[in-house]
Chains A and B, each alone.
Chain A
Amino acid sequence: MKLIFEYEEETTEHVPDVDDKEEKRGGEAVEGITIELPKDLIRKELALPNVSEINVVRHYTNISRMNFGVDLGFYPLGSCTMKYNPKINEDIARLDGFKDLHPLSHESCIQGSLQLMWELEQDLKKITGMDAFSLQPAAGAQGELLGVMITKAYYKQKNEKRKKIIIPDSAHGTNAATSAMCKFETLTIPSDSRGNMDIYKFKESLKDDVALVMLTNPNTLGLFEENILEISDLAHTNGTLMYCDGANMNALLGITRPSDQRFDMIHLNLHKTFSTPHGGGGPGSGVLGVKSFLAEYLPIPRVIKQQDSKFVLDYTKQQKTVGTIRYSYGNFGMLVRAYCYIKSCGSNIRKVSEHAILNANYLLSLLKDDYELPYNRRCTHEFVLSSRKFGEKSALNIAKRLLDYGFHPPTIYFPLIVREALMIEPTETENKETLDRFAAALRNIANEIKENPDIAKGAPYTKLVGRLDEVAAARKPNLRWTALSQSDGKEDNEKKLYVEKSVKNSSSND
């Protein structure tokens, strides 16, 4: 595939052609205005390509065909909840009344959006048992960051010096990275033989300098934390807050609530549990829910429903607010889609989690004889297998071989505590036949490796590119196109348009 920068042709006119009009008027003016700027402000060149619409459309359509998504097939990427993204929600998020609304519009013009945000918050409160939500965080990691900022502000207010955050060794890397962003030290607790956070090690570490315990529940092994109530109680007795990384909420809808596990805060990934599309890496939404005693720390503004049923953005009532973490109120387009999803499922939302758990357990039952199950327990919505009996790098090779079978591979080498980990999350939107085919593929690959390990090592064979060299990518970084990176090494002068030609230099004499 060419790069878009390698095209150069007539463009298609999407906005009025200014130069055209200038010619007709015989001057430099655009609608009576002459563009005049000091010379040191005027751009000298702009090396963007001019491309016709048909070739832009073909370029990106063909590029898209080198991609894989939930719409194309099974995508059991553990921890990411790659479920079906309803099409109607795409249409609804693009209704003019939503997409064309300026965030700084007058309050009388934004009543629909505020209603949606307020109602979404009410539903999320019911689902999690939390008392208040901020819809600002753009992704789970930003939700965590907000949670850790609130933790910091909470202890500052109480005048307590707590500098440590406890996380289990099965935690997402974001938990540790987030703690570091707010200058907390992380204490990593090992997992026990059942995949829980080791309760004895936890007790040893729980000193009066511990601010927060961050747990993913169910954890990244797909196992429910069996000692959760004891952990929460110990933490609270110690004056420590409990944070739930809600990445795995897809297991819990309508079955149990994080508040009942006595968490004080939880972020939800709307792009996981509530079906907003992953978009090749985002946008997401990582809304944060808290118990009432932390509500005053949430960012401003808050959406409030007044007695007259009008909605307002309130900037004043949050006495202890940590501030604000983005320019606007949240990834509103994602909030629309999640709202639609919750309204679609409604009071039957428990079925989502039941089927997610059913699918995971069924798939596990098909695979546990051919791959190792490091923690032999019933899983929740996902499970982790190990391929270590097939040797070093076997998880990578199996993943690459799965590409030839037309499946997206599971998450590999995570969680870090399982060697050669394959983390599999089927979600509830797959049928039995798909799960059967996937299990058959993984069993085939296991047999193949036993007979001839080189097959998997050379995979994939059926994609447009073979196995890509990541080491070379880092050794000789090529991170962008430049006119000079063309094969002939010649600069493409045509690509340079001298902006000066059409912008008058106000500091010159004429």
Chain B
Amino acid sequence: MNYSPITENDREEMLKRIGVRSINDLIMDLKPPLNEKLDLSKPMSELELLEHMRNISQKNKIMKYFIGAGSYNHYIPSAVNHLIMRGEFLTGYTPYQAEMNQGTLHTMYEFQSFICLLTGMDIANASMYEGSSALAEAVLLSSSYNGRNCIFIKNGLNPRYLEVLKTYCEGADLKIVNEIDHNTACVIAQNPDFYGNIENLQYMSEQAHKVGALFITCVVEPTSLAILEPPGTYGADIVVGEGQSFGIPVNFGGPYLGFMAVKNFLLKKIPGRICGMTTDSKGNKGFVLTFQAREQHIRRERATSNITTNVALMAIASTIYLALMGRNGLINVAKLSYSRAHLLHNKLKSLGFEALNKKPFYNEFNMKAPSGSLENIFSNLLKNGILGGLNLGEDNILISCTEMNTVQDIESYVSIIKETAITK
């Protein structure tokens, strides 16, 4: 397939105008020349491509998911996809020319507002790549704010996020430490944590602030914010996290939606794009990218981050999702996720699973299966099209539910476990 519309006639005319005889005359500088054709497959027509890609996609198997651990399978209203597929949203780039890209900017402003409302913070940027690197950026921000290089992480951070944090810290010469003191740049706590536990983290923010450290709350399952107190109310200076739950498919891990929100005093330290409302020459309301002096294209090595391309379209998707759900819809999602998870939890408990959560949980929980049974349970569930959770080893399991896990699904999950126990 060829997406270039240039005809042979055009090509000849263009070459003539340039004053060369052939395209080869234009590429003489590009050295060293590759003397043979690249060994890529035969070009495919659209029809052949679709067939080929259907075949590949069918080698994947989609399950009923009782797994979260950073990616949550929520319902996405149909209108989200219809709207983000509009070429006006899809095929533009960063709105450098504000007058021509008010659509992206207007939506960015609404996105920032939604994130602030949900997290209880003052300012949000227009998105980060995804949750774990957003957390790493929050750590870099803290260190640049107070000039300290030690990071304290409360137990219960998603282990994949921890790995990413370690990689970024190695690059930036930061240390992960076991106690909070006057060298601590920031204190990090995930809420709900990796195991699903939720708590009011006021005491953590007080400990951080006592030594002049910033307090970062990481939210990986943001539908929880519909019914839980927002981190802004218990003293977070920075809230970062993953917005994938808001209208973005699980997508085998990406693209997702990192977000970052801060208190006012960190405005000039925040990485990434920020949209602001302003007026035009006639006094009409409009939107522009603002505080760009923080960014790499102006500040270069003194920039707050190197981030440039973000995940704008995912931010637009989540904005549309939140608008479609509204507060009623979002609270329903949260209540259904909560109740389905607790329903399954109770049923598993009655089957002899040990409850490991020491605190209240939202839609994800940690249990211990009866000794030695987990491998069998997992493989039987898989045979029946169910991904039963995340196996944490030693019969330890992390299970998550959303509104997509119907009461019927929960019942079949439970009956497969019962059968497994019988045939063991």
Taking a contact as CB atoms closer than 8 A, the residue among A12, A33, A228, A467 that contacts B343 in the complex is: A33
Annotate B250-292 by CB proximity to A: 1 below 8 A, 0 otherwise: 1111111000000000010000011111111110101110110
Taking a contact as CB atoms closer than 8 A, the residue among B81, B225, B327, B333 that contacts A50 in the complex is: B327
Chain B residues with CB under 8 A of A470: 98, 278, 288, 290
CA distance A88 to B295 in the complex (A): 35
- Assess A110 versus B327: contact at CB under 8 Å? Given A18-B335, A95-B54, A357-B26: no
CB-based contact B32/A278 at 8 Å: no
Give the distance to chain A from B100, nearest Cβ to Cβ, in Å: 5
CB-based contact B327/A362 at 8 Å: no
Annotate B332-352 by CB proximity to A: 1 below 8 A, 0 otherwise: 110110111011001000000
Annotate A54-70 by CB proximity to B: 1 below 8 A, 0 otherwise: 00110111011111111
CA distance A477 to B19 in the complex (A): 52
Give the distance to chain B from A33, nearest Cβ to Cβ, in Å: 4
Taking a contact as CB atoms closer than 8 A, the residue among B3, B117, B168, B256 that contacts A48 in the complex is: B117
CB-based contact B306/A174 at 8 Å: yes
CB-based contact B323/A56 at 8 Å: yes
B175 within 8 A of A: no
B198 within 8 A of A: yes
B31 within 8 A of A: yes
Give the distance to chain A from B59, nearest Cβ to Cβ, in Å: 3
CB-based contact A46/B331 at 8 Å: yes
Please give the number of chain B residues whose Cβ is less than 8 angstroms from any Cβ of chain A in the complex. Answer: 196
Contact segment of B42-50, B178-186, B205-213, B415-423: B42-50
B33 within 8 A of A: yes
CB-based contact B309/A283 at 8 Å: yes
With most chain A CB atoms within 10 A of its CB, the pick from B38, B200, B302, B312 is B38
Chain B residues with CB under 8 A of A110: 60, 252
Chain A residues with CB under 8 A of B53: 92, 95, 336, 340
- Assess A88 versus B279: contact at CB under 8 Å? Given A42-B227, A46-B327: no
Chain B residues with CB under 8 A of A278: 91-94, 309
CA distance A279 to B316 in the complex (A): 9
Give the distance to chain A from B120, nearest Cβ to Cβ, in Å: 9
CA distance A12 to B80 in the complex (A): 14
A284 within 8 A of B: yes
A170 within 8 A of B: no
Annotate B9-33 by CB proximity to A: 1 below 8 A, 0 otherwise: 0110111011110010011011111
Chain A residues with CB under 8 A of B338: 30, 33, 35
**Shortest Cβ distance from A84 into B: residue:** B3
CB-based contact B23/A327 at 8 Å: no
- Assess A331 versus B254: contact at CB under 8 Å? Given A69-B89, A85-B90, A102-B387: yes
CB-based contact B171/A261 at 8 Å: no
Contact segment of A288-296, A428-436, A440-448: A428-436
CA distance A57 to B85 in the complex (A): 13
CA distance A96 to B253 in the complex (A): 14
CB-based contact B329/A14 at 8 Å: yes
CB contacts under 8 Å to A, within B154-209, are 158, 160-161, 163-164, 166-168, 170-173, 198-200, 202
Chain A residues with CB under 8 A of B6: 355, 358-359, 428, 431-432
B130 within 8 A of A: yes
- Assess A254 versus B37: contact at CB under 8 Å? Given A328-B252, A465-B280, A480-B123: yes
CB-based contact B306/A349 at 8 Å: no
Give 27 pairs: A residue, B residue, CB < 8 Å, sorted on A: A5-B113, A11-B329, A18-B331, A75-B92, A98-B252, A102-B387, A103-B253, A104-B390, A115-B56, A126-B39, A141-B308, A153-B170, A280-B94, A281-B126, A281-B127, A281-B310, A283-B129, A324-B164, A326-B133, A343-B52, A409-B97, A429-B4, A431-B6, A465-B280, A465-B284, A469-B278, A469-B279
* Known pairs A16-B403, A279-B89, A328-B254 / 13 extra A-B pairs, C-beta < 8 Å: A33-B342, A68-B97, A95-B53, A99-B249, A153-B170, A176-B296, A278-B309, A362-B18, A403-B100, A431-B6, A474-B276, A480-B123, A497-B328
Q: Which 8 A-B pairs have the closest CB atoms?
A: A328-B253, A71-B87, A279-B313, A97-B57, A67-B103, A281-B312, A323-B167, A112-B59
